[in-house]
A and B are shown apart, each in its own frame.
Chain A
Amino acid sequence: QVQLVQSGAEVKKPGASVKISCKTYGDIFTKNYVSWVRQAPGQGPEWLATIDPLDVISKVAQNFQGRLTVSRDTSTSTLYIELSGLRHHDTAVYYCARGYCGRESCYKFDQWGQGTLITVS
């Protein structure tokens, strides 16, 4: 069954780093692009990054370049994002989602993880 299951909530201090996992089931890891999106309390979603199934191309939002790292573990079909230099406004629910993408564009985020709450305090 196609599914994305994320790691649990964490509380971090300002300046620390956090690494969030997204374990994939079904063919997602080998066939689909996966994007990361976050949502601050009371705000709309914000796209962070997209990684391709071959781990050749990853796109990261310019605002996060240098602070956000995306990675994959083939042995466990798990994707990760790591955000460093955490600030209070990084407090948000972080989601992974399967999408359909070309070289520059994506659409149809049709499978989402349950979300991971990261609190910076």
Chain B
Amino acid sequence: DIVMTQSPLFLPVTPGEPASMSCRSNQSLQHNSGYAYLDWYLQKPGQSPHLLIFLASNRASGVPDRFSGSGSGTDFTLKISRVEADDVGIYYCMQGLQTPFTFGPGTKVDFK
């Protein structure tokens, strides 16, 4: 199985300031198509996860452009250019390259 790790596990943030988190896999997530099969999801308390970024760097419909994803191979980053109040929650990365699809442990984002 592909193992996903995330850091940090807790990220204290300040509104208006940038934030960044990392996701790593123990195998390359590059598909034959050239895309990295790495998605980012945000889960707020009591809610279903919702998609932010797919294929490492593509923003999902309706996701503000302050969110950006980058990376390839085994190293990926999610950045928030200016954190807003609505951004608190747990951010998960997920690899969809091969079954079992696996999620990272999550990065909990909350205000300082």
Residues of A within 8 A of B (CB): 35, 37, 44-47, 50, 59, 61-63, 95, 97, 99, 101, 104-110, 112-115
Contact between A107 and B50 (Cβ–Cβ < 8 Å)? Answer: no
Which residues of chain B come closer than 8 Å to A95, judged between CB atoms?
48-49
Contact between A44 and B104 (Cβ–Cβ < 8 Å)? Answer: yes
**C-alpha gap A45/B103 in the complex (Å):** 6
Partner of B50, one of A37, A106, A112: A112
Sample of 4 further A-B pairs with CB below 8 A, known A105-B98, A106-B37: A47-B101, A50-B99, A105-B96, A107-B39
Interface centre among A47, A107, A114 (most CB of B within 10 A): A107
Interface centre among A45, A99, A115 (most CB of B within 10 A): A45
- Give chain B's interface secondary structure class: loop
Per-position 1/0 for B81-112, Cβ under 8 A of A: 00000000000101011111111111000000
Contact between B92 and A61 (Cβ–Cβ < 8 Å)? Answer: no
**C-alpha gap A104/B98 in the complex (Å):** 6
Which residues of chain A come closer than 8 Å to B105, judged between CB atoms?
44
Q: How far is the CB of A60 from chain B (nearest CB, A)?
A: 9
Per-position 1/0 for B40-67, Cβ under 8 A of A: 0100000011110011000011000000
Interface centre among B41, B100, B102, B104 (most CB of A within 10 A): B100
**C-alpha gap A79/B31 in the complex (Å):** 28
Q: How far is the CB of A97 from chain B (nearest CB, A)?
A: 8
Interface centre among A61, A99, A108 (most CB of B within 10 A): A108
Contact between A105 and B48 (Cβ–Cβ < 8 Å)? Answer: no
Residues of B within 8 A of A (CB): 31, 35, 37, 39, 41, 48-51, 54-55, 60-61, 92, 94, 96-106
Contact between B99 and A61 (Cβ–Cβ < 8 Å)? Answer: yes
**C-alpha gap A45/B39 in the complex (Å):** 13
**C-alpha gap A108/B41 in the complex (Å):** 10
Contact between B31 and A105 (Cβ–Cβ < 8 Å)? Answer: yes
Partner of B54, one of A50, A104, A107, A114: A107
Contact between A106 and B100 (Cβ–Cβ < 8 Å)? Answer: no
Q: How far is the CB of A64 from chain B (nearest CB, A)?
A: 9
A-B contacts, 14 of them at CB < 8 A, read A44-B92, A44-B103, A45-B41, A47-B94, A47-B99, A47-B102, A95-B48, A97-B48, A104-B98, A105-B31, A107-B35, A112-B48, A113-B48, A115-B48
